[in-house]
Every structure is written in structure tokens, then in C-alpha cells.
Structure 1
Amino acid sequence: MAWMWTPEAERARTARGGHTVATKVDILHGGSWAYTLKAIGGEVSASAGSSVRASVGCTLVDPTGTLGKGDVGDLLNADECEIAPYRGVVFGPPRRREREYAPLGVFGLTSHELDDTPDGLTIRLTGQDRALIYQGQMLNALTVRAGTPIEVAIRMLLAARNPTVTLLAMRTGFTCGPLLYPSTTNVWDAARELAASVGGILFHDRTGQAVFAMSGPQSDAPVAMYAEGTGRLGKVTKKIDTDTIFNVVIAESPDGRIRAVAQDLDPTSRTYARGRYGPRPAPTLVNQHFHSVDQAMQAAVARLDYELGRTETATFTGPPDAGQYVDEAVVLHRPASGFHYRGVVVDELDMPLEVGDGDGAEMTVRCRSSRLARDGRMFPIEEVAA
């Protein structure tokens, strides 16, 4: 969900004259704060369609100058260390300046590099979000009983790699099992297959929390507006694709006994399946966890919604908005490009950590359209019990 700023921070952040930016990167050990470093470059990148939703690459310095080379080695022990970058705003009267930050994710380290010069230490880090924890095998085989809710089975898989995991999940109304996962199972891949069987996605949000939700916009209404003349919108690139879009999605069980077909049946659509564009099926969704036509159809519709969203895409730049994240609906207004207060969904986001003059480097946002309406059912997100 979009980050909620306090009213004071929101006023400062959206002021026409710009605002003073603050960034930091917290070092976590065992999920708890251990140290804070200053970011002088890099960015956080997020993609709604990726197996691992977010990654980070950043250049850091120690603002206190107290770290020694040996201290850094202990601090950045990849077996214990996670990094949590933030971007925020400085506001308030000169003698009582306050800082408010929006989290940009929690990342496990994939590499670190250290430059030790007479001027001090410069640290370069790369990382992936907490999906990294689950990209591996289990110590023991896992049995899932028949009739186990999909969301409970997903949590069981994640707990096989991380016993203390908490999962915020929708109640799907669908079950799975009996299943036997051998110890060689890649936990993240298996959990994502379960999620996909109901048209869902599995990801970690900006706070590092594991979430299982329905594919598509995670906000019920637009969370931000990027409009011409507001100072929040830079370059806009629009792309219309009516040649490579799949407008039919078939979902079926491995034995073919359960089969559902979702297609673009909007006569006004450029990709209308029964019109000039014709039917263009996507590669068939085959999932061992389909146990009913309703379940397979839900998965097919979710995939078709995402696919048709590629028909019209937009990429725009602007001053970094740290409250923004992928899979959120925003309003884009650039009449010359054909966007008249158009609702779009953020598909990819590059958020800079660099702070320079004004807001520093610009953010880059890639959006897709959202074509198909939901069936009206709501999937409240709540924690799944062990």
C-alpha cells in the first residue's frame, strides 16, 4: 500500500518549491537495528511481475566515521545482515527540524565491496528482498493434508525455511492437498505455484512483510496524481502494442480434466478476441493445484488482466516520490500524450537513493493500464495462523 505521511511531512513533501530530502540505510541483524549508514548513490528497483519483487544497489558511507575495516566485515556478515533503505523529507522550523522516512524494502545481501582510503570507507552493496530467504531447499520433506486452505499451505512452505515467518494473506476459499514436498523442493517456487493457482501473487512489501494477495492493483483507489503543471511529472513516453498482446488465457490441470478459458470479449477493445485482432492464446497455464473450474477461471482472469494491461503502457519520470510503490493505482495527466486523468497501475519503479540539488536524481515509473473489472469479491488481508 502507499505510504501514509503525517500531514506536516506531506505538506513539506508536496510544496511547489521542493523540499529537503533525507536518506538513510539501516543495517539489521536478526531483524533488529544494528547501525545506520548514509546513502550517497544507488537505487531501489521494484517490478510487479518478477519472482523477486525488489532489489537494491547502493553506495554508502559512515556518517560518524567511527567504523573500522574490521567492524564493517562483522557488520555486513551476509548470514546475519539485512539492509533497509529509506527516503524521506526534512521539515519544521530551523531549530526543530524533523525527519520522516518511507521504507523502501528490506533486503538480504548478495554482495558487498569496500573501498578503504585516507578519506574514509566507501561501501557498495547489492541485495534482493526477503524472497531470497526462501529460494532454497528444506531440511525435511513437507506433507500437506487434503483440504488445507491454499493460504495455510503457503505459510507451511515458507515456515519450512523460516519458522518465525508471518504471512498476511487473503482467504481464498480454495483448498489443496494431499501434497508431499520432498526436501529438495525450492520453497519460493512451490509457494508461488500455489499462489498462482487462485490468481494470486506472493511478495514482500516495502516493510519486508510477506504478503499473499490477489494479482492486480493493491490499492482500491488511486493513491497519487502525476499531472502536468504540478512539478511532479517530467518526461512521459507512451507505447501502444496491438501486435504481441495475448487476449486469450487457458488454465487447466495437468491431466486436462479441469479447464477454463478467459478472453477479451469487450467489442470496443483493440484486442477484442472475436474481432479483427482475432484470438491469440497465451501459453497455457498448467497448475497441479487447480481443483475446480471456478479456481482455474479465477487464475485465468487474473493473468488476462495483467496481459491486457500491456496494450497501453506509459513510462514517466519525476521528482522521487518515496511513498509510491508497484501494483498501486495512480492518476496520470498529460493531455498531449493522450492521458487525461487516466488511472494506471505502477508496474515497475526505480527509486534513487542519491540526494543532490533539490530532489536529486529523478525516479522512473513504468505503468500499465488495468482493463478488466474484478468480479466484485473482496479478499481481506489478514495474518495466517500457524
Structure 2
Amino acid sequence: MSRGLHLQGIEKRLGQQDVLRGIDLTAASGSYVVLLGPSGSGKTTLLNIVAGFEEADQGLVMIDDEDVGGLPPRLRPTATVFQDYALFPHMSVADNVGFGLRMHGLGKAERDRQVAEVLALVDLASFADRRIDQLSGGQRQRVAVARSLVVRPKVLLLDEPLGALDLSLRRQMQRELRILQKKSGTTFLHVTHDQEEAMSLADLLVVMNGGRIEDAGPPDRIFDSPASLFAATFVGENNVLRGRITSRAKTGTVIETALGPVKVQSEAPEGDEVYVTVRPNRLRLATPGSRAKHFLRGTVEEVTFLGTYYGLRVRTEVAPDMAFHVHSDDRTPPEPGAEIAVTAEPSAFSIIAAKAS
């Protein structure tokens, strides 16, 4: 077993409800791990089990090959940053950061040295004597992270740490957390329901739903080739068709769908029932006279300006109960009511086995 965080067979029930079901997860030491999922998916419960605030009904929690499952929180090699930061308003920045070291009985000289070191790490060296109420929201966040890092945890746990910040500050803190994690070399385990936050931070993205891990891997792999239908639709916008593989050839695999045959790149066997997914940004508006095979033809129902592109909602006659989403970076997009054709390369599609979802 390698150094880092290893969870095996974690189960948790509350009354008649299965909160966590068969959680297996391995994260390398020094990685940034993000648990992403909707409310009630079990991500905070899993974080609390790693921290020792809750006990699993069964399963192993290993940190650097040590089973920490029976240890109380104070004896685990972890520290937690909460959403509300839990800072002491009557203490200075330095005293807040050094509180844990004082509780561990560390002498003042060594405590001051370690506090100064970690304040420099989070770019707050000149703020040591400030009161907490004199700091901005982002600075308070960094104090909370510094207070957790100064006790040198093997795993730093972050429970929705950016949830209370406004959008611009949240994005700034995402960058700063990523830099801090790399500087410190500490394993971070971060809980969020914000997809953009998760994808911008994670080395290992863990998508949770209903107490299970739906998918786990690098964010770009999950975005481009999700392992389950839930991961495909929860992480970013997606278009989904159900279909059946009717033939395979060197030039591609053909799937019969509600829109007709769709050619994709897939190794799935003939006859399999699958979901075909394609991201809106991988679809292209066909140019007049184009000979490219059309993925769909339809009517534009709605056009939404989204900054760097326009979002089009398109409805087709052959599948009128389905709306398709297309991104266009054309500064003069089609108007609502316009008839359009949309193309896509075979590599734009991702295939998910229907039985896996």
C-alpha cells in the first residue's frame, strides 16, 4: 500500500438510510482530492469519517499505511478548515494560528518560529498582530488554512471552505488554495458542490451520489469520458441519447438513436445498449453548403449570451421531447426560430454502457 489516503469498504447508516455504501478510494500523498456531489450525496459524512468526527459502521481509513479508524480526532494526522473558519475574534492572527501548537504544549520560541513560517507561506507575515475583524474574507480564509497547516497534518480537510465568499473572491481563493497545496505538499481533501471549483482545484475528482462514488479520476477525463450517466450529467452540461450499437468498423462504431445513426469511436460490442453523450462545446453549426454529415437538424428555441459564447437550445422534429444544447462562438448567432444543422466529429462523443448507469 502506498503513502497517502486509502479508504476501503466504508459503510455508514443513519437509521434506515444508507448514507455511504462501499466507498473505496485511494489518493496519493500530496494530491488535491475534491469530493463533488449534490446535497445528501454523502461527501461531508465521508470527510467527517476521515476526520474522526463520525465513525464508519465498517471499513478502513488509512493514512500513510496507518489505520486511524479507532483514533479520536485530536490524535489523527488531520486538520480541518470549516466553512465559517471558526477563528477566535479576540485573538491576533498569530495567536489564532498558534493556538493548536499551544494546546500541544509547544514552547513559545518554537511556536513563534513555526507560526512565522506558516504565515509567510500564506503571504500573511505582516499581518501577525492584526485582529481577525481587521481582515478581509480572503485573508480570514488564509488564516484558517494556516492554523490547520501549522500542526503539520498529513491530510488537510476542507469542508465547503469557499461557500461563504462572493464569486470573484471565491475564484481568487481557488487559485490561492491550489498554490498553497503545492507549496506545502500536504494532501488536501476538499468538499464542494460547485463544479467549477472542483475542476479547477482537483488532481483527483471524486463524484458522489446517493452515498456511492459514481466516478473518480482527473477532472479532464471525467469531463470528456465520464464513467456513469450521473457523472456525465452532473459535471458540466451534456446532451444525452440512448441507443444501440448496430455495427462496428475501422471507420467507427454506429449507434442507432432517436436522431438516427450516430458514428462514434468506441470499442463496445455490437448489440450493446448505451448512452451517447456529447458536450455542447463539441457541437458545431454546419456552414451553408457543407458536406459534413449532420448530427441533427432542428429549430433554435432559445439563444442565451454567456460571455465568451452563446448557448443555443435546439428542438428537432424527429425527437420533439428532447432539447439539445449547442455552444456557438459566432458573434452573430442564429435567431430563435431559425432552422439549423449541427455536426460533430466521432471523437466528440462519449459512450456509457446503459447497464452501468
Q: Which has the higher contact order (CA 8 A, sep 6+)?
A: 1
Q: Same fold (TM over 0.5)?
A: no
Normalised by the length of structure 1, the TM-score is 0.24
Normalised by the length of structure 2, the TM-score is 0.25
